[in-house]
Amino acid sequence: MKLVVEMLGLARRLAQTKESLVEIGDQATFRDVVAQLAERYPALVGPVIVPQTFDIESSHILNVDGRAVVTDLDAHPQDGQRLILMFVEAGG
């Protein structure tokens, strides 16, 4: 399956790209997507991606199609989804 990952803010600056096409197997999880990003863009590891576990740092989120936040990285994405890796904004 193919997914597009758009990166915003710090993730975009560290990866030095706006978006990345990720190809994963049909049984892959969001964590597998994050692991592939970590391999492709090592500068993300630490500031955005937790080493070894491939969790997302608490200061960032993974959004699906601009509609929902991924709360379980072990869930399965769907082919063609657009993911957005972005900083969590605080405000009020």
The pair of three-digit structure tokens given for residue 52, joined into one six-digit string? 């070894």
29-44 tens-digit pLDDT: 999 999 999 999 999 9
**Domains in the chain, CATH or no CATH each:** 2-87 (3.10.20.30)
Q: Is the pTM of this model over 0.85?
A: yes
Does 90 score more than 70 pLDDT? no
**Span 24-81, pLDDT tens digits:** 999 999 999 999 999 999 999 999 999 999 999 999 999 999 999 999 999 999 999 9
Rounded Cα gap, residues 48 and 86, in angstroms = 9
Q: What is the pLDDT of residue 13?
A: 97
Element (H, E) at 9: helix 9-15
**Of 41, 38, 55, 53, which Cα lies nearest the Cα of 13?**
41
Q: What tokens appear for 42 in the block?
A: 């090592």
Q: What is the per-residue pLDDT for 89?
A: 74
* Integer Cα distance of 5 and 91 in angstroms: 25
